[in-house]
């Protein structure tokens, strides 16, 4: 009995050591990032995403903290526009930060009119990141997600119109829930992916941007939201400079 107990203890110790070693390795490779860890050294390209909740943004201050890119909320549904988008777009570009705009998809209006709302708000700048469609859940859809066919009937014409106007495939912002419910196996493999996955690297294939924190804190904004989302790009600075410039996604 003593030998069996000792053997079990050794097996458990070995398993714990293996898990610890794996966690150390993932952390060393930058595949585990702490929620308040800004501009992580394991990655070359660091960014944020903001909306009117961050209020007035001091973009040179963010650039001074290593921010290379920023996704800015532009629109939502077929009518809503973010009150700070235009100022954020101009301010970030003036500070040397590469910008992209995102649209929060509504399940309650046609994709065509949502696309026109975005196009009316967002300039077609050659050096900008591709437009983003934010595919997640809200309100009653948190508990009762819409059917896949309903979502595709809105999403597909929205993506097609944005690609036609901006000349590049939009980025799809996803959570695990939205990705595996609506995108996996649905013919969206050519679209760049920006995945929300707090702390641990995204467990979805072929992701391009990783939103690793919703609770980052930087200096340089004064809105109702004290936190700011933190992101990295999956690739080198050189690859980032070419990303979305009419070439196939990396």
pLDDT in tens, 136-161: 999 999 999 999 999 999 999 999 99
pLDDT in tens, 235-245: 999 999 999 98
pLDDT in tens, 66-78: 999 999 999 999 9
Residue 233: which of 39, 73, 65, 53 has the closest Cα?
39
Active-site residues: which are they? 49, 134, 136
Residue 120's CB is within 10 A of a number of other CB atoms, namely 10
pLDDT in tens, 165-194: 999 999 999 999 999 999 999 999 999 999
pLDDT in tens, 84-124: 999 999 999 999 999 999 999 999 999 999 999 999 999 99
pLDDT at position 193 is: 98
- Which of 26-30, 37-41, 221-225 is least confident? 26-30
Joined tokens for residue 10: 């050794």
Q: Using an 8 Å Cβ cutoff, are 50 and 221 in contact?
A: yes
pLDDT at position 151 is: 98
pLDDT at position 11 is: 64
pLDDT at 249 over 60: no
The average pLDDT across 24-33 equals 88
pLDDT at position 183 is: 97
User: What distances in angstroms separate CA 138 from CA 29, 110, 183, one per listed residue?
Assistant: 34, 17, 18
Tell me which CATH homologous superfamily contains domain 36-242: Glycosidases (3.20.20.80)
Q: What pTM, to 2 d.p., does this model score?
A: 0.92
Domain residue limits, the chain? 1-30, 36-242
Residue 119: which of 170, 172, 154 has the closest Cα?
170
């Amino acid at each position: 009995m003593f030998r069996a107990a000792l053997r079990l203890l050794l097996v458990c110790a070995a398993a714990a050591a293996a898990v610890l070693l794996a966690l150390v390795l993932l952390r060393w490779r930058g595949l585990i990032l702490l929620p308040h860890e800004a501009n992580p050294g394991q990655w070359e390209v660091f960014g944020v995403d903001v909306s009117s909740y961050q209020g007035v943004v001091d973009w040179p201050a963010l650039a001074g903290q290593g921010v290379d890119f920023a996704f800015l909320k532009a629109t939502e549904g077929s009518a809503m526009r973010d009150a700070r988008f235009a100022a954020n777009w101009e301010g970030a570009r003036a500070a040397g930060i590469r910008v992209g705009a995102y649209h929060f998809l509504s399940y309650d209006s046609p994709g065509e009119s949502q696309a026109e709302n975005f196009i009316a708000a967002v300039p077609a700048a050659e050096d900008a990141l591709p437009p983003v469609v934010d595919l997640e859940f809200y309100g009653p859809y948190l508990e009762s997600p819409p059917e896949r066919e309903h979502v595709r009937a809105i999403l597909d014409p929205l993506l097609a119109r944005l690609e036609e106007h901006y000349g590049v495939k939009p980025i799809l912002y996803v959570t695990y829930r939205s990705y595996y419910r609506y995108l996996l196996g649905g013919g969206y493999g050519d679209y760049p992916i920006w995945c929300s996955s707090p702390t641990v690297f995204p467990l979805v294939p072929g992701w391009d941007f990783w939103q690793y924190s919703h609770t980052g804190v930087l200096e340089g904004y004064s809105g109702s939201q004290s936190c700011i989302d933190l992101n990295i790009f999956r690739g080198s600075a050189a690859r980032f400079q070419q990303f979305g410039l009419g070439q196939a996604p990396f």
